Amino acid sequence: MIRGIYTAAAGMLTQQKRQDLLTNNLANVNTPGYKQDEAIIRSFPEVLLQTIRVPVKDKQPIGSLHQGVFVEEDVPIFKQGDLTETGVNTHFAIWDPELELIPNGQRRPILLFTVQGQNGERLFTRSGLFTEDAAGQLVTPEGYLVLDDQGRPIRTNGRSFTVDQKGNIRFSDGQTLRLGLTKINNPNQLLKQGEQIYRLQGNQGNLPFVNENENYQIFQGKLERSNVDPTQTMVDMITALRIYEANQQMIQFMDKTLEKAVNEIGRV
């Protein structure tokens, strides 16, 4: 009976964490480049029960005992988001056909913009919401420098420029360079660094930049929208709430049963 309470409580905690994750996804439905997080739920190891207080040769297995579930981790789903027009020449969007229709549980290589962190480390983002800072450099909203395919900060210095579908930048004075895009073969190695910013686990930040032969397109004056489906997220939130309530009622039922066992049966 007590084990049952612990199992139901584990289910409540799991659904509470899942609800928090879904709420955060829904809150970022309009955040450019946001990738929804998915809760990976695992069960605790099963325990094999057998008879006790009998000779070893006479012990018989009773069966297995489940000990509930828990949220092992939350992982971002890098499915392609829709593109929206902004008309701002410092806004960019990556269109990756391979990410357009992948199932949520499937992992495929992903292309990301490359930016430079405050300590000089290489970081990554799918959000092309860039602006020009006071020093004439292309930066993210957090102030990270946007890099070209040589690993150098992109300096606009107030010049007008155009970007073609392979990320080649042509400035009004004739200078040309290319946006630095990095291909991450295993997105599971990406860890969230902050708002729409990712870093690679371990010392893997010096990956080569992709060349123009990769199957992708860059759109200037557009942004990639969040890939959160608000309707499905609301359905998932309702489901999580119902499961939470079912576990809550189970705890109340077992509590009343224990109360009877102690207060009524114990008197007999």
* pLDDT tens-digit series, residues 7-36: 888 899 999 999 999 999 999 999 999 999
User: Do 124 and 220 lie in a common domain?
Assistant: yes
Domain around 40: 2-76+229-267
User: Do 248 and 208 lie in a common domain?
Assistant: no
pLDDT band for position 47 (cuts 50, 70, 90): low
Position with higher pLDDT, 255 vs 83: 83
User: Do 169 and 260 lie in a common domain?
Assistant: no
pLDDT band for position 237 (cuts 50, 70, 90): very high
| Residue-level length of the chain | 268
User: Do 32 and 87 lie in a common domain?
Assistant: no
SS3 state of residue 89: coil
User: Do 89 and 57 lie in a common domain?
Assistant: no
Which of 111, 131, 75 shows the shortest CA–CA distance to 215?
A: 111
% residues pLDDT > 90 (the chain): 53
pLDDT band for position 232 (cuts 50, 70, 90): very high
pLDDT for the residue 74: 85
User: Do 15 and 136 lie in a common domain?
Assistant: no
Rounded Cα gap, residues 183 and 209, in angstroms? 7
pLDDT for the residue 105: 46
CA atoms within 13 A on the CB side of 40: 9
Total domains in the fold of the chain: 2
Of the candidate ranges 167-171, 203-207, 257-261, the one whose mean pLDDT is the lowest = 203-207
The one-character DSSP state at 243 is H
Of the ranges 70-79, 106-115, 141-150, 183-192, which is most confident? Answer: 141-150
Contact 220, 91 (CB under 8 A): yes
Which of 83, 111, 120, 130 shows the shortest CA–CA distance to 190?
A: 111
Q: Is the pLDDT of residue 164 over 90?
A: yes
pLDDT for the residue 214: 87
pLDDT for the residue 255: 83
Q: Is the pLDDT of residue 267 over 90?
A: no
| 203 exposure class (CB count in 10 Å sphere: 0-12, 13-18, 19+) | exposed
Q: Is the pLDDT of residue 48 over 70?
A: no
User: Do 235 and 212 lie in a common domain?
Assistant: no
User: Do 212 and 88 lie in a common domain?
Assistant: yes
Question: How high is the mean pLDDT of the chain?
Answer: 86
- Per residue in 100-154, pLDDT tens? 555 554 567 889 999 998 888 899 999 999 999 999 999 999 899 999 999 999 9
pLDDT for the residue 124: 94
Angle between helices 2-27 and 230-263 (to 10 degrees): 160
Q: What is the mean pLDDT of residues 188-194?
A: 85
User: Do 195 and 139 lie in a common domain?
Assistant: yes
User: Do 91 and 206 lie in a common domain?
Assistant: yes
pLDDT for the residue 107: 64
User: Do 89 and 118 lie in a common domain?
Assistant: yes
Q: How far is CA 91 from the centre of its chain?
A: 23
pLDDT band for position 1 (cuts 50, 70, 90): low
User: Do 239 and 155 lie in a common domain?
Assistant: no
Rounded Cα gap, residues 40 and 43, in angstroms? 10
DSSP run (H or E) holding 192: strand 190-194
Q: What is the mean pLDDT of residues 239-245?
A: 94
pTM score of the predicted model? 0.80
Q: How far is CA 143 from the centre of its chain?
A: 22
